[in-house]
A = this chain, B = another copy of it.
Amino acid sequence: MAKENQFVEQIADIDADFPQWYTDVVLKTKLVDYGPVKGTMVIRPYGYAIWENIQKEMDKRFKAQGVENAYFPLLIPMSFFTKEAEHVEGFAPEIAVVTVAGGEPLAEPLAIRPTSETIIGTMYSKWIQSYRDLPLKINQWCNVMRWEKTTRPFLRTSEFLWQEGHTVHATAEEAEEETQKMLEIYKEFAENCLAIPVITGKKTEKEKFAGAVATYGMEAMMHDGKSLQAGTSHYLGQNFASAFDIQFLDKDGTHKTAYTSSWGVSTRLIGAIIMTHGDSRGLVLPPVVAPVQCVIVPIAAKKAGVSEACAKLRDELEQAGVRVKLDDSENSPGWKFNEWEMKGVPVRIELGPRDLEAGKILCARRDTLEKSEMALSGAADGIRALLQTVQKDMLEAARKRRDGRIVYAKDMDEILAGVENGNFVKAGWCGCRECEDKIKEKTAASARVYAEGETAETCAVCGKKAKHMIIYARAY
């Protein structure tokens, strides 16, 4: 067992120094590297493959909703941002600006998109004429840029990859429904594909998207009890439609201003996967998005028949649609166990001469570290079933961990104690910005979302009658 620990030493202790554990894990598993420009990241093949799997699963869901993909320009005239007052206030401080191009100074500086409501709104205004053009539902997969002071790979970087959906509707009801529908899709995706249980709900005015009427978020609890906003869906009302003149001729012959929504998730989700499921040995990846779902480690590979049997099993698993890797490198089995455990591969198969003789394989689950035997013949079906079990169990385990860490608080001290112990804290709120600010100031926790369907007696800050129950947490 000594060998099995050689890698563990290279990763900081997950409970003693979680931030260092995170940095160690993302770098050592080659998910990501730092780019040469401060605050930028390189998403390496192992990390990008997770993103590709996320894209595939999400894109399927979007298309099933009648959403089409398109691509809008990276550069947006700075003047576009000023058309929506709240929007410019929210984003101006983070914008990267192109002032020179083709060897000459530009007449108007151009922003690298931090988000694309303004440029997409401009095009929609041109494309939409009649109610027949509605609803219009377009998504784009792209890079965006927000100049951040403090950055961490996947969680907050100056450039990141995301999808941004932008829809236009004839009525407020329809746009609100779309906003909710996409939030539901995000939730279903997070739970079923990433095995991350999320709490969805409305954000406070303070925390909403700059320019939205209402923002809905999904919040996930990380290993340290902090919250990560894993996706947002915004009901924009007529704010952008008015600013960008998105009008349509309705059935009744009058011109009306449309209603819009926007929604997005980003490469942050990879950070959420790492910090939800990771353990002292490194990554634990959910099978649906794991680049490698199953690794085969030959034991005593030079013994008769072993490498042939491993190769045959690899081919069978591939045939069955399993993303499998046969590690036939010259490293020792112990080294390989550690390597693939650190990389979070959901299932490891060990196959040696004695297994071969007995017609079985040894399967080690990454999530529970449990080992079990399986018949070599017809193993593909067994492995597929095992991957499904792992996927399901990971969600349930994460849900159990999270649910045990949601507490109620009556006053500021209890909120502080709650978040210091790594909990999500539910507490009453009178609804005023002042109380919300005070909590942030004294506990470093923010209002994540309204706790839907729950009510409270009094505001934990001012003691006045509570209008809402809020989920407070420190957040990434």
Contacts of A71 in B (CB 8 A): 42-43, 48, 51, 143, 161
Which candidate, A93-101, A278-286, A394-402, is the interface stretch facing chain B? A93-101
- Say yes or no: is A302 at the interface (Cβ < 8 Å to chain B): no
The answer to whether A122 and B36 touch (CB under 8 A), given A99-B99, A143-B143, is: yes
Query: How many angstroms between the C-alpha atoms of A158 and B101 in the bound complex?
Result: 10
Give me the interface of A with B, judged by CB distance under 8 Å.
33, 35-37, 40-45, 47-49, 51-52, 68-77, 80, 92-103, 109-110, 112, 119, 122-123, 126-127, 138, 142-143, 145, 147-149, 158-159, 161
Can you sample 23 A-B contacts with CB below 8 Å? A35-B119, A36-B76, A36-B80, A37-B73, A37-B76, A41-B73, A42-B70, A42-B73, A45-B138, A48-B69, A48-B70, A51-B71, A74-B112, A74-B143, A75-B158, A93-B103, A96-B101, A96-B102, A97-B99, A98-B99, A100-B109, A102-B147, A102-B149
Query: How many angstroms between the C-alpha atoms of A333 and B48 in the bound complex?
Result: 46
- The residue among A49, A94, A97 with the most chain B CB atoms within 10 A of its own CB is A97
Contacts of A122 in B (CB 8 A): 36
Contacts of A145 in B (CB 8 A): 74-75
Contacts of A147 in B (CB 8 A): 101-102
Query: Do residues A98 and B97 form an inter-chain contact, with CB atoms below 8 A?
Result: yes
Query: Do residues B73 and A49 form an inter-chain contact, with CB atoms below 8 A?
Result: no
Query: Do residues B72 and A35 form an inter-chain contact, with CB atoms below 8 A?
Result: yes
A-B contact sample (13 more), CB < 8 A, given A35-B72, A96-B100:
A33-B126, A35-B73, A36-B80, A40-B73, A45-B69, A45-B70, A48-B68, A74-B145, A96-B98, A97-B100, A97-B101, A98-B112, A102-B148
Contacts of A68 in B (CB 8 A): 45, 48-49
Copies in the complex: 2
Contacts of A74 in B (CB 8 A): 74, 112, 143, 145, 159
Contacts of A43 in B (CB 8 A): 70-71
Min CB distance A206 to B, Å, is 22
Residue of B nearest to A127 (CB): B33
The answer to whether A75 and B40 touch (CB under 8 A), given A68-B45, A97-B98, A142-B143, is: yes
Min CB distance A107 to B, Å, is 10
Contacts of A143 in B (CB 8 A): 71, 74, 142-143
Contacts of A94 in B (CB 8 A): 102
Query: Do residues A42 and B123 form an inter-chain contact, with CB atoms below 8 A?
Result: yes
Query: How many angstroms between the C-alpha atoms of A295 and B109 in the bound complex?
Result: 45
Query: How many angstroms between the C-alpha atoms of A73 and B42 in the bound complex?
Result: 6
Query: How many angstroms between the C-alpha atoms of A142 and B142 in the bound complex?
Result: 8
Query: How many angstroms between the C-alpha atoms of A256 and B40 in the bound complex?
Result: 30
Query: How many angstroms between the C-alpha atoms of A96 and B110 in the bound complex?
Result: 10
The answer to whether A37 and B75 touch (CB under 8 A), given A98-B112, A100-B97, is: yes
Contacts of A52 in B (CB 8 A): 69
Residue among B45, B98, B142 making CB contact with A98, cutoff 8 Å: B98
